[in-house]
Structures are given as structure tokens and as C-alpha cells.
Amino acid sequence: MAVSKNGASKTTDCKNFEQNMQRCNCTYEPCSRKGTCCECITYHWRLGELPACFFSNDVERTYDRSIAAFVRSVKK
């Protein structure tokens, strides 16, 4: 059993969970997908979005995960 950034216990079969948590820059605290990238990417892609890790920290904090926001952020 692993523990997420917000202290919640999480059972995961992801062999990279701990490494993923070290790199995850998502600031949305109730997120249950932190550290399980395949679930995170699937969730956001289904909504037409990209996950937090595609964005710089300052853009991530806006919670605008749209593809348009990503394009704007890389054009700067």
C-alpha cells in the first residue's frame, strides 16, 4: 500500500508508483489518480484534456487542462 501526497492510503499495482509520485506536479488534492499515470492520462484524455505533468507548475495551478491551454503555454 502506498501513500499519496495528501496522506491518503492508496493500493496500486503500478510498479512505478513511487517514482511517479516524485514527479507528479498535480495540485488537485482530492485526485485519486496521482501516481498512477495510465489512469490519469486516460481520465484527462476522455475529457479532451492533458494531465498536469504536461504543464509548467504555474500553468498547472490554473487547473485549465485543455489542449488549447497547453498550446498557449508552449508558445510563450
Averaged pLDDT for residues 8-12: 52
pLDDT at 8 over 60: no
- Give the pLDDT score at 76: 73
Averaged pLDDT for residues 40-48: 96
pTM: 0.77
Residues 6+ apart with CB under 8 A from 31: 40
Burial class (CB in 10 A: 0-12, 13-18, 19+), 34: buried
Question: For the chain, how big is the Rg over CA atoms in Å?
Answer: 13
Assign 3-state DSSP to the chain and report helix, strand, coil percentages, each to 5. Answer: 45, 10, 50
Decide if 35 contacts 24 (C-beta within 8 A): yes
